[in-house]
């Protein structure tokens, strides 16, 4: 319906508001006179009603004729409030205001006052390393000087000001090139996945050399240059399996941010990337005891006055790291309890996160149920991924989801499913030209189903896989796949009849020399995870 279409934009805007923004809107509207039918709309939208429900309730409480005007007015009020808040919080807006004031004063021939306002803008722009605005200020200053016939300024001073513009332009150009390199690196990781071999690692050399040449330029120094360098190097080392170096660069980046808090963006996207980078590195390296400190930093960000979508993303990522840490160390009961505490978030708020995050959340539920020995629930959760539109299909985690789905089918005894699905996955992986050893081993193991039920037969089968599993666990490239779920531990559990939680607990302690369970002489029809 027409009214619902109009309301959808307003609803999305209201959903993005932080608590502080909502509080400011209430204070602003309390000061306004006249009818406030638009606040009825606002209140209904805040309660979470759909567009159709809001329209019906508004017509019932007010009248149909007032709806369109109220909707338009509410939209204007929301934007006006957000602009006013932006002016109070955003340095860029403050700088713009100084430039605007300078223009007004210059037009009224208050030249000294105009230059004073430009000087204020210049100091702020320099302090916050806002090169685009700094360039605008310098050019505005020269324009004013030219209009006044360069009165009171020497040629040497004029050339100096022009050289300042050249320096800013050169630095801004280098920053843009640096950001391009980082974006390309992130793009390759997102759509091609992490490096799976030395050959794939070498394919990144063009970016690495370009980045090092850029940072070697001694005129290119400052917070932004340092930030982008550390971010690039940390991301590169994480991608190529050098987790120790990745952690070192990420920690340096965090220290840089905390020493220059005034330069942290709103929202703090790059600061978040640094903290998440450390967590990811620790997670892949299996250093779970080191994670709580950085998880606490993630939670600190989640309490900030930032857009709702950003806060939801932070909360989701914190949950995923904490949950994975518990699952990968065999603490299944604690993981289940954690999931229960996030029930409201997962059911109502997770929809506000990005596609990759939503996919990871759904996948984490499937893995949790798989670990708890509830494959039917795991399959139900997996259907949300596999039955979705194609928006998930190009994301890195989708490939892992298909592998997890194979395990779920194995737990349910649906062995006829394997042949076609494995062939389909192989075709997909084939495009990447390089597969994980884990994937090959998993396919071979699943095609051996149904597994033998007696101890001697399984022991023989286990001896065939044990060497490959040991090699996989020692391979730095394989750890990227195992961080989501330890497929090798699952295979080991199936063949040795040792509970998965026990194997995971021992694996993370470095103990991989385990014997078969004491009851292994008995036929095994269904093993508990």
* pLDDT at 191 > cutoff 80: no
In 3D space, the residue among 281, 278, 270, 358 whose CA is nearest the CA of residue 315 turns out to be 358
Read off the pTM: 0.73
Residue 77 lies in a domain: yes
Better-scored residue on pLDDT, 471 or 4: 471
In 3D space, the residue among 513, 439, 482, 193 whose CA is nearest the CA of residue 328 turns out to be 482
Distances (CA, A) of 444 to 75, 361, 379, 524: 59, 28, 22, 20
* pLDDT of the residue at 3: 54
Rg for the chain, CA atoms, rounded: 29
Whether 73 and 99 map to the same domain: the answer is no
Of 89, 121, 141, the domain-final residue: 89
Return d(Cα 448, Cα 364) in angstroms, integer.
Answer: 27
Return d(Cα 153, Cα 156) in angstroms, integer.
Answer: 8
* pLDDT of the residue at 511: 45
Kindly report the average pLDDT of the chain as a whole number. 86
* pLDDT of the residue at 184: 92
pLDDT, tens only, 404-462:
999 999 999 988 888 889 988 888 776 555 678 899 999 999 998 888 888 888 889 99
Return d(Cα 236, Cα 18) in angstroms, integer.
Answer: 34
Residue 474 lies in a domain: no
User: Where does the pLDDT of residue 87 fall: very low under 50, low under 70, confident under 90, or very high at 90 and above?
Assistant: low
* pLDDT of the residue at 327: 95
Residue 317 lies in a domain: no
Of 73, 89, 105, the domain-final residue: 89
The answer to whether 283 touches 325, Cβ cutoff 8 Å, is yes
Local structure of residue 65 (DSSP, 8 states): T
* pLDDT of the residue at 509: 57
For the residues 253-264, what does the mean pLDDT come to?
90
The two tokens of residue 462 are 């286990």
Whether 15 and 52 map to the same domain: the answer is yes
* pLDDT at 237 > cutoff 80: yes
* pLDDT at 154 > cutoff 70: yes
Better-scored residue on pLDDT, 438 or 515: 438
Whether 28 and 59 map to the same domain: the answer is yes
* Range from 191-195, 219-223, 242-246 that averages highest in pLDDT: 242-246
Return d(Cα 495, Cα 463) in angstroms, integer.
Answer: 10
Taken in order 459, 465, 471, 475, the sign of the CA dihedral is: negative
Return d(Cα 529, Cα 374) in angstroms, integer.
Answer: 9
Whether 123 and 81 map to the same domain: the answer is no
* pLDDT at 513 > cutoff 70: no
* pLDDT at 52 > cutoff 60: yes
For the residues 70-78, what does the mean pLDDT come to?
88
* pLDDT at 16 > cutoff 90: no
For the residues 26-42, what does the mean pLDDT come to?
80
* Range from 40-54, 56-70, 90-104, 134-148 that averages highest in pLDDT: 134-148
* pLDDT at 391 > cutoff 80: no
Whether 67 and 138 map to the same domain: the answer is no
* pLDDT at 206 > cutoff 50: yes
Residue whose token pair is 């120790």: 244
User: Where does the pLDDT of residue 528 fall: very low under 50, low under 70, confident under 90, or very high at 90 and above?
Assistant: very low
User: Where does the pLDDT of residue 526 fall: very low under 50, low under 70, confident under 90, or very high at 90 and above?
Assistant: very low
Return d(Cα 41, Cα 123) in angstroms, integer.
Answer: 44
Tally the domains of the chain: 2
Residue 28 lies in a domain: yes
* pLDDT at 85 > cutoff 60: yes
* pLDDT of the residue at 521: 41
Residue 76 lies in a domain: yes
For the residues 164-182, what does the mean pLDDT come to?
92
User: Where does the pLDDT of residue 141 fall: very low under 50, low under 70, confident under 90, or very high at 90 and above?
Assistant: very high
Q: Exposed (0-12), middle (13-18) or buried (19+): which is 129, by Cβ within 10 Å?
A: middle
Residue 414 lies in a domain: no
Whether 22 and 69 map to the same domain: the answer is yes
Return d(Cα 319, Cα 234) in angstroms, integer.
Answer: 23
For the residues 24-28, what does the mean pLDDT come to?
82
* pLDDT of the residue at 120: 95
Whether 30 and 107 map to the same domain: the answer is no
* pLDDT of the residue at 101: 94
In 3D space, the residue among 233, 237, 278, 232 whose CA is nearest the CA of residue 254 turns out to be 278
User: Where does the pLDDT of residue 72 fall: very low under 50, low under 70, confident under 90, or very high at 90 and above?
Assistant: confident
* pLDDT at 514 > cutoff 70: no
Distances (CA, A) of 454 to 75, 157, 328, 465, 513: 70, 91, 28, 17, 21
Whether 8 and 70 map to the same domain: the answer is yes
Return d(Cα 508, Cα 148) in angstroms, integer.
Answer: 73
* pLDDT at 200 > cutoff 80: no
* pLDDT of the residue at 489: 95
Range of the domain at 139: 91-153
Whether 74 and 138 map to the same domain: the answer is no
* pLDDT of the residue at 523: 38
Phi-psi region of 286 (alpha: psi -120 to 50; beta: other; left: phi over 0): left
Whether 82 and 100 map to the same domain: the answer is no
For the residues 226-238, what does the mean pLDDT come to?
93
Q: Return the minimum-mean-pLDDT range out of 114-118, 186-190, 343-347, 509-513.
A: 509-513
Instruction: Calculate ∠ Cα 489-190-16, nearest 5°.
Output: 105
Whether 48 and 103 map to the same domain: the answer is no
pLDDT, tens only, 486-496:
999 999 999 99
Residue 107 lies in a domain: yes
Of 36, 71, 89, the domain-final residue: 89
* pLDDT at 256 > cutoff 50: yes
Residue 134 lies in a domain: yes
Measure the N-to-C terminal CA separation of the chain; round to a whole number of Å: 51
* pLDDT of the residue at 433: 57
pLDDT, tens only, 324-375:
999 999 999 999 999 999 999 988 888 888 888 999 999 999 999 999 999 9
Whether 106 and 30 map to the same domain: the answer is no
The answer to whether 516 touches 459, Cβ cutoff 8 Å, is yes
């Amino acid at each position: 319906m027409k009214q619902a279409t109009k309301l959808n934009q307003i609803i999305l805007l209201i959903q993005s508001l932080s608590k502080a923004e909502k509080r400011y809107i209430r204070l602003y509207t309390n000061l306004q006179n006249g009818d406030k039918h638009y606040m009825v709309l606002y209140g209904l939208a805040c309660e979470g009603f759909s567009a159709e429900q809001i329209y019906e309730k508004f017509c019932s409480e007010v009248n149909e004729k007032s709806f369109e005007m109220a909707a338009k007015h509410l939209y204007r009020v929301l934007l006006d409030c957000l602009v006013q808040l932006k002016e109070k919080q955003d340095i860029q807006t403050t700088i713009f205001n100084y430039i605007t004031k300078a223009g007004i004063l210059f037009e009224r021939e208050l030249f000294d006052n105009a230059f004073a306002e430009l000087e204020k803008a210049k100091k702020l722009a320099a302090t916050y390393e806002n090169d685009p605005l700094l360039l605008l200020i310098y050019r505005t200053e020269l324009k004013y000087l030219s209009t006044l016939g360069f009165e009171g300024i020497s040629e040497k001073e004029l050339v100096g000001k022009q050289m300042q513009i050249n320096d800013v332009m050169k630095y801004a150009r280098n920053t843009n090139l640096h950001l391009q390199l980082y974006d390309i690196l992130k793009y390759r990781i997102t759509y091609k996945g992490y490096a799976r071999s030395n050959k794939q690692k070498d394919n990144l050399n063009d970016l690495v050399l370009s980045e090092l040449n850029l940072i070697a330029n001694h005129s290119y120094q400052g917070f932004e240059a340092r930030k982008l360098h550390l971010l690039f190097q940390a991301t590169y080392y994480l991608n190529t399996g050098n987790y120790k170096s990745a952690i070192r660069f990420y920690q340096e980046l965090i220290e840089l941010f905390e020493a220059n808090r005034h330069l942290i963006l709103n929202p703090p996207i790059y600061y978040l990337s640094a903290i998440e980078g450390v967590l990811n590195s620790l997670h892949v390296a299996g250093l779970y005891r080191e994670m709580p400190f950085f998880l606490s930093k993630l939670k600190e960000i989640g309490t900030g006055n930032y857009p709702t979508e950003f806060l939801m993303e932070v909360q989701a990522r914190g949950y995923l790291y904490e949950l994975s840490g518990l699952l990968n160390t065999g603490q299944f009961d604690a993981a289940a309890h954690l999931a229960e505490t996030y029930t409201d978030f997962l059911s109502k708020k997770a929809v506000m996160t990005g596609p990759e995050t939503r996919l990871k959340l759904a996948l984490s539920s499937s893995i949790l149920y798989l670990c708890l020995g509830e494959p039917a629930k795991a399959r139900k959760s997996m259907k949300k991924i596999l039955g979705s539109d194609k928006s998930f299909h190009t994301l890195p985690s989708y490939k892992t989801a298909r592998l997890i789905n194979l395990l779920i089918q194995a737990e349910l005894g649906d062995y006829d499913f394997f042949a076609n699905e494995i062939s389909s996955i192989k075709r997909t992986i084939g495009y990447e030209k390089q597969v994980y050893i884990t994937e090959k081993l998993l396919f071979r193991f699943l095609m051996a189903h149904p597994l033998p039920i007696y101890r001697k037969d399984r022991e023989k089968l286990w001896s065939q896989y044990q060497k490959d599993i040991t090699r996989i666990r020692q391979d730095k490239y394989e750890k990227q796949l195992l961080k989501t779920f330890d497929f090798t531990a699952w295979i080991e559990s199936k063949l040795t009849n040792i509970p998965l939680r026990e194997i995971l607990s021992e694996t993370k302690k470095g103990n991989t020399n385990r014997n078969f369970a004491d009851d292994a002489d008995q036929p095994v029809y269904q093993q508990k995870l």
